[in-house]
Every structure is written in structure tokens, then in C-alpha cells.
Amino acid sequence: MQIKMELMDKVGMRGIVCLHTFHSGQPNKFKHLKRAFAFIASHDNVWLTTGDDVNDWYHQNYM
């Protein structure tokens, strides 16, 4: 994940992470998700948000 994110940043790509509760609610996956999100959140150019916030932003900027 770190290599992919660094590469995406170098070439100006952006990504989105969506999780279903089936995956995020599994105890055996929690520590891995926590580590991955800590890494993602440590970057200055990351917007941690909700689907509602994305919808609001889109409507403010493109509607």
C-alpha cells in the first residue's frame, strides 16, 4: 500500500477507499485496517471524509 500510494502521489493520481462493514467489522482485519488508515491519514494531502461530505462538495462545485 505504501509503494502504491507513493507512486500515485508522484504521478498525480488520486484514489478512494470504500469499505463495507463486512470487511471493516471483522476482528481479524482490524489491526491491518488501522495500520493502513494510519498510514493514509499521515499524509497532508488526504481528505478523510464521509459520502455525504463528498456529495455536498460535488454539488457546491459542479451543480
pTM of the model: 0.61
Q: Where are the domains of the chain?
A: 2-62
Rounded to whole angstroms, how far apart are CA atoms 17 and 29? Answer: 15
CB pairs under 8 A, 24+ apart, for 4-12? 5/39, 5/40, 5/43, 9/43, 9/45
pLDDT in tens, 11-45: 666 777 777 777 778 888 888 888 888 888 888 88
What one-letter code names the amino acid at 48?
L
CB 2, CB 37: distance < 8 Å: no
pLDDT in tens, 40-59: 888 888 888 888 999 999 99
